[in-house]
Amino acid sequence: MPDKQDEILTEVRELKHWLYGKNGFEGDIPDIKKMLCSHSRRIRILEIVVAGLVVSGGGAIGLIQLLG
């Protein structure tokens, strides 16, 4: 039965090959970076929309209070 440390080391090496590829340049890391980039852009757009709604809502409430 293999030692626990050897088992862990084998799993870490397998994860490294999965993320970085066998030669260190091909793997899932480029795909993960592309995915994060597209999600961060989507989040920024959502933040701008929410901020715009808050500002316009606050302006409408202020206008109503001024007129009322």
Q: Tokens standing for 41?
A: 């852009």
pLDDT tens across 27-53, in order? Answer: 677 777 777 776 666 777 778 888 888
Separation CA 30–CA 20 (nearest Å): 9
Pick the more confident residue, 47 or 26.
47
Is 2 strand, coil or helix?
coil
Q: For a pLDDT cut of 70, what percent of the chain falls above it?
A: 79
pLDDT for 44: 78
pLDDT for 1: 55
Separation CA 66–CA 34 (nearest Å): 48
> Is the CA virtual torsion 53, 55, 60, 62 positive or negative?
positive
